[in-house]
A and B are shown apart, each in its own frame.
Chain A
Amino acid sequence: MAHDFAWIRPEPHGIHVVPADCWIDPSEPVDHALVTHGHADHARGGHGRTVATPETLAIMKLRYATSGGAVPAGYSETIRLPGGVDATFVPAGHVLGSAQILLEHAGERVVVTGDYKRCPDPTCPPFEVTPCDVFITEATFGLPVFCHPPIETEIGKLLDRLAAYPERCVLVGAYALGKAQRVIAELRRAGHDRPIYLHGALERMCRLYEDWGVDLGELRLVSDAKKEDMRGHIVVCPPSALNDRWSRRLPDPITAMASGWMRVRQRARQRNVELPLVISDHADWGELTRTVEEVDPHETWITHGREEALLRWHQLRQRRARALALVGYEDEDD
């Protein structure tokens, strides 16, 4: 067989780069880790050495309060690993600092996408198509029913609802890293310049984004505000706080949630969401399949989500693909 890619091995707790003895996004502490981005299902504390983009390292430092063994790798910068492996971090367009990792060894090229999306995001550089032999792709929204509408449409819905109920507030549940800041940045882009109120759990990450040059406009904390002040305003919180007792301090909130899962009515109803906003930082079905066509790899390895449908899509087009069974990846809130 011409290719067998034995130097790269999917194991239950991560992808093992054998000659370099390092791991990509390992779910357990290892001596040497390469991390695609700061989400908890990819970035964990406790590794000996962590190679990641400077933004991702800053996010990990904020989350795990450790920075020992951090090795920054800027976008497009190639890092030589032991065992004759070269690693290059390429923008993935998912969240601040997110990268695909291109691995080159003995003339073979493997791309690990981490999480990615193809539509523009004011908080991070766009995904770059990188030709390779093995394309290891995520599949969070790997079902043909998922089609994320343009974000302008969803932001428009949010602003319309806010305008229609000036006596209330709209409470938007959004994942604390990435989604919350992207929603705020898109609101600013749409001309919404009123203060936006934050749940305390979002404050530090928003400040970090601002430190990295993402302008989020005027942000205030719910804990510092009076109920009256928040009428007619947008409040952003982590999804877990949406139906929590915490929300009782808000003026008659309209419950919204920004997530790709909101495409399915039953999912929105399960979470008691009144205003579903289909906003995702992951590729939808169209983006996933278009990306495979553009990268045009020798084979695709599918992980992180609904592998079955994407596998079927490859089969129907006579493309080589296999599903990896990695543990610990879940993006229920994304």
Chain B
Amino acid sequence: MERFAALIDALVYTRSRNEKLQLIAGYLRATPDPDRGWALAALTGGLDFPAVKASTIRNLMHERVDPVLWTLSRDFVGDTAETASLLWPAGESPPDPPSVSETVEALAAMTRRSVFTELPALLDRLDASGRFALLKLATGAMRIGISARLAKIAFAQAFDVGVEEVEEYWHGLAPPYRALFAWAAERAPPPDTGSLPLFRPFMLAHPLDDTIVDLEDYVAEWKWDGIRVQLVHVGGEQGETRLYSRSGDDISGTFPEFLDALPMDAVLDGELLVRGVHQGGEKGGAASFNALQQRLGRKTVSKAMLADFPAFIRLYDVMILEDDDLRGLPWTQRRARLEALMPRLPADRFDLSPVVDAEHFDHLAEIRAGARDDAIEGLMLKRKDSPYIAGRKTGLWYKWKRDPLLVDCVLMYAQRGSGKRSSFYSDYTFGCWDGDPDAGADLLPVGKAYFGFTDEELRKIDRYVRTHTVNRFGPVRETDRSLVFEVAFDSVHASKRHKSGLAMRFPRIHRIRWDKPAHEADRIDALRALVRD
């Protein structure tokens, strides 16, 4: 537990992603099974101990510390687990830390009653940072800025294996992942995951940027503005279907309409969309992303939801079909198999993402510029002979997004960045005028961005912020509202969460308009006119 606690502490204080990866990788290499597997499960959010709740900790502390002193301390520290770790009365005997696996076994065996004697017994064996790690582990909320993906990348780096392979095996395995460690660390055969409805890592695309491809070799497809999903069915007619998001999260419960939609064993890749009959588009077409948003993140789905926002999958690819792993075949052959499959699928749940016909590249650019469908995010260009390879392999798939929308905003607040940027003001909040600035209208914040500029520009903005500060709040400076940014973004939506009533998708600094007077920046109305909900 000491080594795990030291890891957690180090991760809390490390800002750089690379250093975090090195810290986790170092721990995984140096720690034996099954401790490292349990630690990996803790970092990826894979542990749950129902007997331990935040309220359990509060109750334990109230038996030991005066409630007024507890509340004053908790308010100051801001985190229940940390406050408890600091206030826990030091034992008479020196610390005798349990191993991670001993800890996990003890936590798993606790009941709502026994937790009040067994958790204190564990706490007594640890020092303050061990207690912090234990309480974070026990309540299942590490909140130390490590995503599951980052932990898996660290695992892959630790043992020099492919992260996409790790992802593929991951979903069929349970903590403490002995088979995974045996494969990665000791070169044992890969874990057997054949008969499970598993997530397979997606093939991803690079931005096209300035590349020009030959349409002899590449095929074009629309890139739809929904969420990329994978639908998996195994076990024949009585089998099981699962829907996964791009990150591999199981979202089957949120979209129950697919649970019996796939009548054969298959793994399909497509875009999840919502029908947009009321979107002004073609009847039965796809609605904008905002309509889909109504359905995302829900644990239970009402009948009305299912009726008002029916979901379907626009298919891009077929990865596995009835015992055949098609991922090694060229795209043209997979496409032929997919087209042949379409008549066997229910038409209300699936359609096929059409191929875009263009004679040459310039023609394609024209088609792209003229696309008016709200559900189109841009184009995909896929090499006709490309196999389906997990991750982003250069030269196979490109994404060519629609030109971004632009708006001129005024810099309002700047915040220090992290890691290498911690001495620079590199995170910006900008606003638009809520009316005529010459008639006294104010700026309302409309978004935040921390990229889109060069290092040289960052240095210039940083200097600017320091000499135009009117207020400081910790790491944040309020500026005198005199610098204009041309901000690029993909779309803008109505949002109750923001004072301006608007939320941008993917805002980034497009140009710095040193030349432009702030009162000539755009008004909120101009931005509101771009809402396409």
Contacts and interface: CB of A to CB of B under 8 A. Distances in A.
Binding partners A and B = yes
Interface of A: 143-145, 147, 243-245, 247-248, 255, 263-266, 268-270, 272-276, 306, 308-309, 312-313, 316
Contacts of A265: 12-13, 79, 82
A272 to B, nearest CB: 5
B32 interface: no
B249 to A, nearest CB: 28
Given A145-B73, A145-B83, A243 B13 contact: no
A312 B68 contact: yes
A49 B246 CA distance: 74
Contacts of A270: 474-475
B66 A264 contact: no
B65 interface: yes
B81 to A, nearest CB: 10
A274 B475 contact: no
Contacts of A273: 13
15 contacts: A144-B87, A145-B76, A145-B87, A147-B86, A243-B422, A255-B422, A265-B82, A266-B78, A269-B12, A270-B474, A272-B15, A272-B416, A273-B13, A306-B72, A316-B66
Given A264-B82, A264-B86, 17 more contacts: A145-B83, A145-B86, A243-B416, A263-B86, A264-B78, A265-B12, A265-B79, A266-B82, A269-B12, A272-B15, A273-B13, A274-B14, A276-B13, A306-B72, A306-B76, A312-B66, A313-B69
A255 to B, nearest CB: 8
Contact of A264 (B72, B77, B474, B475): B77
A244 B475 CA distance: 11
Contact of B13 (A264, A269, A306, A316): A269
Contacts of B87: 144-145
B15 to A, nearest CB: 7
Contacts of A264: 76-78, 82, 86
A308 B13 contact: no
Contacts of A274: 13-15
B18 interface: no
Nearest to B10: A274
Interface in B281-339: none
Nearest to B77: A264
A242 to B, nearest CB: 9
B72 A143 contact: yes
Contacts of B83: 145
Interface in B68-117: 68-69, 72-73, 76-79, 82-83, 86-87
Contacts of A268: 13
Contacts of B422: 243, 255, 272
Contacts of A269: 12-13
B72 A309 contact: yes
Interface string B3-16: 00000000011110
B418 interface: yes
Contact of A144 (B13, B73, B78, B418): B73
Contact of A245 (B72, B78, B423): B423
A80 to B, nearest CB: 42
A207 B86 CA distance: 38
Interface string B410-436: 000000101000110000000000000
B423 A244 contact: yes
By Cβ-Cβ distance, the 3 closest A-B pairs, closest first, are A145-B86, A272-B422, A145-B73
Interface string B384-413: 000000000000000000000000000000
* Residue from the set A145, A264, A306 with the largest chain B CB neighbour count within 10 Å: A145
A304 to B, nearest CB: 16
Contacts of A248: 423
Which of B12, B13, B78 has the most CB atoms of chain A within a 10 A radius of its CB? B13
A210 B526 CA distance: 66
A309 B13 contact: no
Nearest to A256: B13
A270 B68 CA distance: 26
Residue of A147, A247, A263, A309 with most chain B CB atoms under a 10 A cut-off: A309
A144 B69 contact: yes
A275 B83 CA distance: 20
B13 A266 contact: no
Nearest to A262: B13
A43 B422 CA distance: 34
A52 B68 CA distance: 39
Contacts of B65: 144
Given A145-B87, A263-B86, A313-B69, A247 B423 contact: yes
Interface string B349-366: 000000000000000000
A264 B418 CA distance: 19
A111 B15 CA distance: 46
